[in-house]
Structure 1
Amino acid sequence: MRILRTLVPAAVAVLVVPGCASTDADPSRTRTPSTSASATASPTSSPAASPDAESSVPAARRAESVVSPQAPRLVVLPSGRRVPVDRVGTTPAGVLDVPADVDNAGWWRGGSRIGDPFGSVLVAAHVDSRTQGLGPFAELLTLEPGTRVVLESSRLRQVFRIDARRLVPQGSLADDSWIFDASGDLRLTLVTCAPPYEPDRGGYQNLAVVTAVPLGPPEDQ
C-alpha cells in the first residue's frame, strides 16, 4: 500500500511526494511518510511554483549563480552507495512520480538544481518494495548530522553536509513548505518513507526528511 504526502506549492496546485513503498504497495504511487524527529524545522515559507514548472526560482535570482545550473543525475550517500537520480514531475492526481525501482531516486523538476543559489533540491525515493526489499534510501532512517552527501549532474559535483533528520507525519505539506520551497538558503532535501507501517491506515505513517547544506559551490567534474 502506498503512502502519499501532499505538498501545496501554490494556492491551487497540490503535489504529493511519494517516497516509499510498502511490501504490498504499488511503488510508483507510494507516499513518503514523515515524523518530526530532531530539531524543529525552520520553514522558508514563500510562494512556491507549480509542480510542473521547470524551476520555480526566478530568473533574476538564477542569474546570480556562478555556474549554469543542472539537474542532478546521481546522489552518493554517506555509505558510498551511488543512487541514480531521474528527473520526475507529477501525475494528473498531483503525485510526485518517484521511480518504481527502489534503486533509483527522483528529482522534482519544480525545485532547485545543482548550481542554483537558492531553494530546495528535492530528491525522493521509495524505502522498499515487495520484490526488491530495502532500497538505498532506507539509509536515510539512520543518517546522522555531520555526514556528507554528494550530488552530481552530467558536469557538476557538489558536496553537502547533513544538517538534520526529521520525521514528518503523513498529510498535507502546506505547513512544511521548507521541504520543497524554491526560495530560502540552498539545501539538499532527501525524502523517503518511515515507520511505523500500519496496513490498516494505508502503510507508512511518516516521512523521513533529511536536509543537507552545501559545503562549497559546485565544481566541474
Structure 2
Amino acid sequence: MKTSTTTAVIARRRPSPPGLMALVAAALLLPACVPAPTSQPSAPMTAGSGQSTAQAGGPTPGITPAAETPAPGPATSRASVPAPVPAAPATLPAPTVPVPAPTTLTVAGTTINMTVVPVGVAAGGAMEIPGPFDQAGWYRFGPAPGADAGTAVIAGHIDTTSDQAPFSQLKSLAAGTAIQVGRQDAPPLVYRVVSVELMAKDRFDGDALFRRAGPHELKVVTCGGRWLDEVKDYSDNVIVTAVLE
C-alpha cells in the first residue's frame, strides 16, 4: 500500500556502473531509497530512550531521520539504499539503564539473517546504510530495540547489481511474522509484524519514522515499488512495523 509523507528513504542497488555503491537518500531516503534525519545530531545518544553509545564501524550510505533529516548518499553497487529520513535530535537525556545495541536480525519463514551494525548520519544529512547487502544498519541516534518509547529504525539494501538482497523479502511479510533481534550482552527480543507499508519516497514522513516518543515499535526499512531508471532509484520505501510480543 502507499502512504503520503514528506520524504522517501531506503536503500537500493540497481544496474549502475560497477563499484558504485548506493547510499541512503534524504529523510532517510538514500540516493536511492531510505529516509533519514532532517538535521545532523549534535552529539551521540546513549543506547536506550532514543540514544545509543554504540559506534558505527565505518562510513555507509544512510537514511535521514525526521527531526534531523540528513540527506541520502550514493551507492557503489546495485544494492538498494534507503533515501534520507529526517532524524530526531540526539539530545535526549541519557536513560538510567542503557538499552543494549542490536547485533542481529532474523525473520521467521525467510532467509533474512542479518548482522546489524550501528550507523549515524552521512554527509548531506541522510541516515547511513551499510554497503554489504547482508548487513543492516541501526540508527544509533534514535531508540534502540527494547527501549521504553519511540521507534527503533533498522534499514538495509533491497538488491545488488546481480541479485536480490535478503531485505527484498520484507514486502511480503504477513502480520504476526516473528522478527528476532539479537542484542549485545543481553537476551534477544522477539517482535511481531503488525503492518507492511509502501511509502512513496517523495512523500516520506521522516518524523513518523524516527519518532522519539510514544509507544515503542521496531521499523525495518528498505527500497521498493518501481525502479526509476532516470534517477537510478526505486519509487518507494518498504516499511515494516513490528511490536514486542
Same fold (TM over 0.5): yes
The aligned runs of 1:84-95 (5 Å cut-off) are 84-95=115-126
User: Which secondary structure does the structure 2 equivalent of 1:58 belong to?
Assistant: coil
Paired position in structure 2 for 1:117: 148
Q: Which runs of 4+ in 1 moved over 4 A?
A: none
**1:25-69 deviations in Å (ceiling 9; x for gaps):** 7434143648xxxxxxxxxxxx99838642248337x33xxx640
107-116 or 186-195, which deviates more: 107-116
Tell me by how many angstroms 1:18 deviates. 4.0
**Gap runs ≥5 in structure 2:** 25-29, 46-50, 52-89
TM-superposed deviation, 1:210:
0.4
3-state SS, counterpart of residue 230 of structure 2: helix
Q: Counterpart in 1 of 2:41?
A: 50
The answer to whether structure 1 residue 126 and structure 2 residue 157 are counterparts is yes
- Cα displacement (A) at 1:116: 1.5
Return closer, same or farther for 1:80/1:126 CA change in 2, 3 Å cut-off: closer
Change (3 A) 1:97 1:51: farther
Amino acid at match of 2:165: G
- Counterpart residue number, 1:219: none
The reply on whether 1:20 has 2:12 as its aligned counterpart is yes
Give me the TM-score of the superposition, normalised by structure 2: 0.67
Q: TM-score, normalised by structure 1?
A: 0.73
What displacement does 1:17 show? 4.2
Q: Cα RMSD over matched residues?
A: 2.8
Query: Residue 165 of structure 1 corresponds to which residue in structure 2?
Result: 196
CA contact (8 A) 1:111 1:121 kept: yes
Deviations 1:87-128 (A, max 9, x none): 111112112220111110000111111331011110000000
CA distance in 1, matches of 2:141, 2:92: 12
1:59 corresponds in structure 2 to 93
Quick check: 1:81 aligned with 2:112? Answer: yes
CA shift digits 1:160-179 (9 cap, x unpaired): 00010001111364x34221
- C-alpha separation between the residues in 2 aligned to 1:6 and 1:96? 16
Identify if the C-alpha distance between structure 1 residues 176 and 92 changes in structure 2 by more than 3 Å, giving closer, same or farther.
Answer: closer
Number of residues of Structure 1 aligned to a counterpart in Structure 2? 185
Note the residue ranges of structure 1 that are not aligned, 5 or more in a row. 8-15, 35-46, 216-221
Quick one: which of 228, 233, 237 aligns to 1:198?
Answer: 228
Structure 2 residue aligned with 1:180, among 197, 200, 210? 210
Question: Identity over aligned residues, as a percent?
Answer: 23
Please say if residues 17 and 124 of structure 1, whose CA atoms lie closer than 8 Å, have aligned partners that are also in contact: no
Q: How far apart in 1 are the matches of 2:170 and 2:220?
A: 8
Question: What SS is found at the alignment partner of 2:195?
Answer: strand
SS of 1:178 mapped into structure 2:
helix
Of residues 92, 100, 103, the one that matches 2:131 is 100
CA distance in 2, matches of 1:106, 1:6: 22
Amino acid of the structure 2 residue aligned with 1:167: L
Structure 1 residues 52 and 82: alpha-carbon distance in aligned structure 2, compared to 1, 3 A threshold = farther
